[in-house]
Amino acid sequence: MYRKAEYHLKDWKVKSNRKPLVIRGARQVGKTYLVRSFAKQFANIVEINLERDPEIGQLFSSNNPAKTIRLLGLQYDQMITPGKTLLFLDEIQAQPQVFAALRYFYEEMPNLHIIAAGSLLEFSLEKPTFSVPVGRIEYLHIGPMQFDEYLQAVATSELVDFLHQFELGDELPIPLHHKFLEHLKTFFIVGGMPEAVKTLKETNSWQKCREVKTGIIATFSDDFNKYGARAKEFTLQNLFKKIPVQVGQKFKYVNIDRNQRAGAVAQALQLLCQARVATRIYHSSANGVPLGAEVNEKKFKVIFMDVGLMSTVCGLNLLDIEKAEDILLINNGAVCEQFIGQHLLYSLDYYQKPELYYWVREKKNSSAEIDYLISYGPTIIPVEVKAGTTGTLKSMQLFLQEKNRESGVRFNSGPPSVLEGTSQTDNKIPFKLISLPLYMVGETRRLLKGELA
């Protein structure tokens, strides 16, 4: 299936200063599939699963790349030729010494293309027991399939091309708008886990798709015993089930379990975030970029890893989505906020660590809140996910006034538009509101480039 990350891999392949590439992402998001698809660019691939074959890690102990390659060639009965072979080290976290040895491949055998990946790699990188080859490796961060990748798989490339080429001001026929919304509703249920998308495409069976998602959820639960003794499995299981119903709200430990210490829940949440099953969205004061420079770690929301898995955990089905008068109202808006959040989270370049923020007014008794904040160059853009008229966007208008900003983005179920008006705040500031249909979230940064130029 089509994954945009493969274009990044193609660029990496021909870079003059290429380093061993480490793919980071949650379990089941398609890391292995991506590498195998990309491997078609090479004469051959040597794939090693270090969790399944841990003894292979010993072949890297000499820190001598030439010797290691010779031994690997003998072990797998394949020629490993720099420039022609892709060496893929899967589940590298199972043998940390192999990770440390990547520095020697960069220094002594830079022409060999090496990709490493691991589902629970984040745990190894948090407090490594090995020497991390800083400056001698590069990262690629990957999440679930995005909406345009899903469209490419289940619909037509013409629909994807239309989204990628659309400019604000272009005509968007209403029937086509409705077609995109119908596909969006199915994405809310299917989600972006590649196996679920593949199953729906091949079987056209909602039941089989649900079975796949239920199996993925069970796989995550089964992984909890690999997280070590740092959190009780009961706490992890309870948190895992309740995060999907907390999306869109300020996260409070007491809402997870009133009888559990906040510290224990916080520890469990940290582990789920390391596994990229969940992501904290911190409050930022947003006085300038980078947004992460002014976070308040006590104020945060949490989003789940995938809208399809969220729907399954919450017990939603396609009929529930179809019955909603406006998709913004599904599950009190949480499904749409999850959908927008997971797309904005991975809207940065693939080599950048995914991050996303939100804003709450820090004045006492104020309820003003912006769903998400993103930055585009030096410009901070407030993002709201809601229906309604411009006059109801009081929080956005307060943010623009307080932070001396001029533009905001609203996602809703209507056609795209750009409105230049005056705020209803005390200062009556001029501002530009860019309204985009939810399904155009993947085009946000590209469309902003034209409006902010």
pLDDT for the residue numbered 204 = 94
Whether residue 128 is found in the same domain as residue 242: no
Could you give the count of Cα atoms lying within 13 Å of 450 in the half-sphere of its Cβ?
A: 12
Whether residue 244 is found in the same domain as residue 313: yes
Cis-peptide into 290, omega within 30 deg: yes
Helix, strand, coil tally for the chain in percent (to 5) = 50, 20, 35
Place of tokens 């619909």: 155
> What is the arithmetic mean of pLDDT over 306-321?
93
Question: Of 82, 50, 42, 90, which is closest to residue 66 (Cα–Cα)?
Answer: 82
Tell me the whole-structure pTM to 2 decimals.
0.94
pLDDT for the residue numbered 311 = 96
Assess if residue 224 is contained within a domain: yes
Assess if residue 30 is contained within a domain: yes
Tell me which of 365, 398, 414 is where a domain ends: 365
Whether residue 321 contacts residue 358, with contact meaning beta carbons closer than 8 Å, is answered with no
Whether residue 282 is found in the same domain as residue 248: yes
Mean per-residue pLDDT of the chain: 92
pLDDT for the residue numbered 388 = 62
pLDDT for the residue numbered 55 = 96
Whether residue 303 is found in the same domain as residue 254: yes
- For residue range 350-367, list pLDDT tens digits in order: 999 999 999 999 777 778
Whether residue 63 contacts residue 104, with contact meaning beta carbons closer than 8 Å, is answered with yes
- For residue range 93-149, list pLDDT tens digits in order: 889 889 889 999 999 999 999 999 987 777 766 666 667 788 999 999 999 999 999
Among 32-41, 57-66, 230-239, where is mean pLDDT lowest? 230-239
Find the domain containing 50 and state its range. Answer: 5-141
Place of tokens 């091949």: 202
- For residue range 248-303, list pLDDT tens digits in order: 999 999 999 888 889 999 999 999 999 999 999 999 999 999 999 999 999 999 99
Tell me which of 125, 141, 157 is where a domain ends: 141
- For residue range 369-426, list pLDDT tens digits in order: 999 999 999 999 999 998 665 557 889 999 999 999 999 999 999 999 999 888 777 7
Among 36-50, 143-157, 356-370, where is mean pLDDT lowest? 356-370
Whether residue 45 is found in the same domain as residue 159: no
Task: Quote the tokens at residue 110.
Answer: 């830079």
Total domains, the chain: 2
Whether residue 125 is found in the same domain as residue 194: no
Whether residue 241 is found in the same domain as residue 318: yes
Report the 10 Å Cβ neighbour count for 276. 23
Cβ neighbours for 188, distance < 8 A, ≥ 6 positions apart: 307, 308, 311, 316, 321, 327, 330, 335, 339
Question: Of 409, 358, 413, which is closest to residue 384 (Cα–Cα)?
Answer: 409
Question: Of 274, 247, 407, 417, which is closest to residue 339 (Cα–Cα)?
Answer: 247
pLDDT for the residue numbered 363 = 79
pLDDT for the residue numbered 332 = 83
- For residue range 204-233, list pLDDT tens digits in order: 999 999 999 999 999 998 888 777 655 688
In degrees, rounded to 5, the angle at the alpha carbon of residue 151 between the alpha carbons of residues 184 and 175 is 60
Whether residue 34 contacts residue 142, with contact meaning beta carbons closer than 8 Å, is answered with yes
Assess if residue 97 is contained within a domain: yes
Assess if residue 395 is contained within a domain: no
Whether residue 60 contacts residue 48, with contact meaning beta carbons closer than 8 Å, is answered with no
Give the 3-state secondary structure of residue 383. Answer: strand
How far is residue 278's CA from residue 341's CA, in Å, rounded to a whole number?
A: 11
Give the 3-state secondary structure of residue 71. Answer: helix
Whether residue 137 is found in the same domain as residue 154: no
pLDDT for the residue numbered 128 = 61
Whether residue 114 is found in the same domain as residue 152: no
Tell me which of 107, 123, 141 is where a domain ends: 141
Whether residue 58 is found in the same domain as residue 171: no
Instruction: Give the containing element (helix H, strand E) for 86.
Output: strand 85-90
- For residue range 430-445, list pLDDT tens digits in order: 889 999 999 999 999 9
Whether residue 221 is found in the same domain as residue 292: yes
Assess if residue 439 is contained within a domain: no
Assess if residue 402 is contained within a domain: no
How far is residue 120's CA from residue 116's CA, in Å, rounded to a whole number?
A: 12
Whether residue 71 is found in the same domain as residue 183: no
DSSP state of 431: E
Q: Is the pLDDT of residue 428 over 70?
A: yes
Assess if residue 391 is contained within a domain: no
Assess if residue 54 is contained within a domain: yes
How far is residue 206's CA from residue 209's CA, in Å, rounded to a whole number?
A: 5
CATH code: domain of residue 29? 3.40.50.300
Could you give the count of Cα atoms lying within 13 Å of 350 in the half-sphere of its Cβ?
A: 22
